[in-house]
Amino acid sequence: MFALNFNNPAMHIFYGKVALIAYLKTIKIANSTIGFVPTMGALHKGHLALMQRSLKENDDTVVSIFVNPTQFNNPEDLDKYPRTLDEDVKKMRGLSDKIILYAPSTEDIYEGNTVSQSFNFDGLENQMEGKFRPGHFNGVGTIVKRLFEIVNPTNAYFGEKDFQQLQIVKKMVEKNHLPVNIIGCPIFREENQLAMSSRNERLTSEERKEASIIYETLTEAKEIFNTKSIEETIQFVENSFKDNPRFDLEYFVIADESTLIPIDYKSKDKNYRAFIAVFVNSIRLIDTISLN
Ligand code: PAF
């Protein structure tokens, strides 16, 4: 068995898919469930909450840690993305020694052909992150589909911070008839309400503190949206960032929650959501809030 145990005989760590698939075959019994939490590592409490939920709801839980090159449109972002495998393993061990970790190499996933498949997500891919990060969702679709083929999970857990990603994964599963339930989980926030993200690691403590402006602005925008017009809401958010030299607003969008298409009028029977992307120096942070 090609599994390394880092001194803990109970925690299984696989670096190659062949050994992982063989191991999963040995533990899978009729009707048993596998929960799956795909991550890019640099684990924070939000990731651990997804794992906790998977551990509770499934017989076995697989976590993947793989910084997927095909979903990065910016080489500097890929280069600087935190890689903290030893720390991550410690955090997972602190949670449960039942977690099965898959931490593959790029070769193990892409087999010498590190390119994305091209997907049609019925237009979900053309909004927000898709607009500002060309090719991003083809990369996400490619890796998530590949990981699903390897792990063959019953349930897969995704955070709602990446709400567009969550909708896109659901769409991919539906269109490809993949036998997996996609479960969206609430955003985990730091004490100052900054949405937890692996990218927060790259902020200075001052930037991290001041980044509370993102969620503060979203909650105020929600109030404005429910009493005033869409234009006034957008204007408020743009003004909040205009005079703040530390932050650079990339987009603020109010969209229909199911189609992700930006709205120009409100309808009573629809669910709406606000989405924001902000740069702090070169570090890009996103957040979202339901407006209903
Ligand atoms: O959300 C992430 O961390 C990544 O996009 C994912 C789903 C692990 C795919 O690389």
CATH number at residue 231: 3.30.1300.10
Same domain, 142 and 214: no
Q: Is 253 in the pocket of ligand 1 (CB under 6 A)?
A: no
Give me the number of domains the chain comprises: 2
| Same domain flag for 202 and 268 | yes
Domain stops at, among 152, 185, 218: 185
Per annotation, catalytic residue among 12, 47, 136, 177: 47
Given this model, what pLDDT does residue 92 score? 97
Residue 252 has which token pair?
A: 């603020």
Domain identity same for 229 and 172: no
- Rounded to whole angstroms, the Cα distance separating 14 from 100 reads 8
- Residue 66's CATH number: 3.40.50.620
Q: Are residues 271 and 288 in contact, defined by beta-carbon separation less than 8 angstroms? A: no
Q: 159 C-alpha vs ligand 1 centroid, how far in Å?
A: 10
Judgement on whether residues 146 and 239 belong to the same structural domain of the protein: no
Q: Choose the final residue of a domain: 162, 185, 208.
A: 185
Nearest CA to ligand 1 atom 1: 39
Q: 278 phi and psi, to 5 degrees? A: -135, 135
pLDDT at 2: 43
Indicate whether 210 and 175 sit together in one domain: no
Give the residue from 47, 179, 163 showing the smallest Cα distance to 101.
47
d(CA 65, ligand 1 centre) in Å: 9
Q: What is the pLDDT of residue 88?
A: 98
CB atoms within 10 A of CB 49: 19
Residues in the chain, pLDDT under 70: 1-9
Same domain, 153 and 283: no
Same-domain check for residues 104 and 203: no
Q: Would residue 47 show up in a list of annotated catalytic residues for this protein? A: yes
Residue 6 lies in a domain: no
Atom of ligand 1 nearest to the CA of 140: 9
217 lines ligand 1 (CB under 6 A): no
Nearest to 67 by CA among 106, 93, 30: 106
Ligand 1 atom at shortest distance from the alpha carbon of 169: 7
Counting ligand 1 atoms within 8 A of each CB, the residue from 36, 65, 165 with the most, and so the one to mutate, is: 165
Instruction: Provide the pLDDT for residue 9.
Output: 58
Answer yes or no: do 151 and 243 share one domain: no
Domain that holds residue 132: 12-185
- Give a yes or no: residue 278 inside a domain: yes
Are 103 and 203 in the same domain? no
Q: Are residues 177 and 206 in the same domain?
A: no
Per-residue pLDDT tens digits for 46-98: 999 999 999 999 999 999 999 999 999 999 999 999 999 999 999 999 999 99
Domain final residue pick, 141, 163, 185: 185
Q: Which pLDDT belongs to residue 232?
A: 98
68 lines ligand 1 (CB under 6 A): yes
- Which of 150, 153, 152 is CA-nearest to residue 18? 150
Query: Does residue 141 have its Cβ closer than 6 Å to ligand 1?
Result: no
165/45 same-domain check: yes
